[in-house]
Chains A and B, each alone.
Chain A
C-alpha cells in the first residue's frame, strides 16, 4: 500500500503542484494558498512514509530504454519531506496581500524545482531543477513591487551566470557519464586536467547559489532587498538545494576523485566562515546581519563536506536541516518586525517587553545558530566539529570553534538590545506567523534535547546514497 502511495502519489502530487504553479493561479485566487499548503503537506507526508518504509532504491522515468530521470531513496525521501515541511512553514509566514495568486504560483514552482533537484537521478534534471528554483525566485521577488526590482535583477544576473557555468562544466564531463546519470563517471580516458577544470567550474557554479566565498557577495543585497518570506525561502530552501546538488555532483558523480577536491572545500569552508562572521559583526541591519550569518552557516556546512566521510556528510546534512528551521524562524520574526518598520539593531530595544514570544523565539533561534546547548544548532556544530577532529582535521575544527566565538558577538548584540527594557506599546503578531515560529521553535528545542532519531535517520540516508 505504502509502496503504491509513494510510487504513484509522489509524482502525482508534484505534478499537481506544477499544474497549480503554471495554470490554476489567478491574481486574486485566495484558495491557492490553501491548495499549495495541502499539496505540500501531502508531499511531506508521502516523503515521511517513504522514509519510514526505507525503500532502498527505485527509479522513475527513463523512456524507451534511456536512463532514469528520478529516483527515490531514503536520502531523497528525507529531504523531500523536510523541504516540503519547511515550505509549508514559509507559506504560513507569507502575508503579501497583493497578488496572492501570483505569489503562490511562483512559490509552487520553487517547491517543484527543489523537489526535482532532490529527487533527480540525472544531471540534466538536476540542472533543470536548479534553474527552476532560481528563476521562480526571481519572479517571486519581482512580484513584490517596484522596490524589489533591484534585488530581483541582482539575483537574476548571478543565477544566470551560475547556471551557464554549470552547463559548461557539465559539457566537459558529459561524454564520460552514462547518459547523464548521477552515478560515478568512468575514469578511463578522462584526463586529469579536464576533470579538474570541470570540477572547478562545478564548484563555481554551485557555490554561487550555496553562498560560498567569494561567489556570494550578491547575497546580502538580495536578502535585504527581498520580501521577508522570500528571504526565508532563499536561505532555507534555495541554498540548501544548492548544497544537495554539490553533494550529488561531488560525492556521487565525481566520487572517485573526492580526495582531490576535499582540500579545496576545506579552504573555502574556512574562508566562508570567517567572511560571514566578520561581516555580520559590523552590520546594523538585522536582516543583513542574518544574511551574513547564513553565509557563515554555509561555511559550517561546507566544513562537513570537507571532512568527506560518512560522519562529516551526515553532520553536514544534520546542520542543513537544523539551519533550515533556525533561519526560517529567525527571518519570520525579522520580517514581522520589518513590517512594523523595525530594522536596525537599535530599534530592537525592548522587544521582550513589547512581545515576549517574539523576543524569546528570536533569542532561541540566535542561540541555536551560535551553537548553544541544548538546541539543535549545537548538536549540528558538535557533530561537525567532532567529525573534523575525528579525521584529524584540527585546523578546520579550530577555525569552526573560533568562528562560533565570533558569532556570539553579533547574536549577543541583538539579544542584549532586546533585553534593554523600554515601555513602548505592545506589538501584536498574527496567528499564522506565531504558529510558524512556534513550529520552528518546537523542532529546534525537541531535536536539540533528543537528537538521536534524526542523527540516525540522516546517517542511514547518507549511507543509502553510497550503497
Chain B
C-alpha cells in the first residue's frame, strides 16, 4: 500500500477544513489565531508533499516562507490583541463591531 501525493493532499485538505471550521466557530480571538495556524500548517503539508513527489524544492521554499509569515503574524497579531485587551478588557469577536455599516 503505497502512500501517494493524493493521500497527502487529502490530509492537507481535511486539516484545512478543520481550520475553516475553527475560524468560523471561534469567537475568542486567541482561539481564532489557533485556527489560522491550523490553516497555515495544512497548506504547509501540501507544499511539502508536492515538493517531495515532484522532486522540486520550490514547495519547501514556500513552506519556509509560510512559517516566516506565521511567525510575523503571531507577533503582530498578539501585539494588537494586547492593545485591544488593554482598552476594552474583552477579546470577544461579537463585541468588536466598530466597523458596523
A and B associate: no
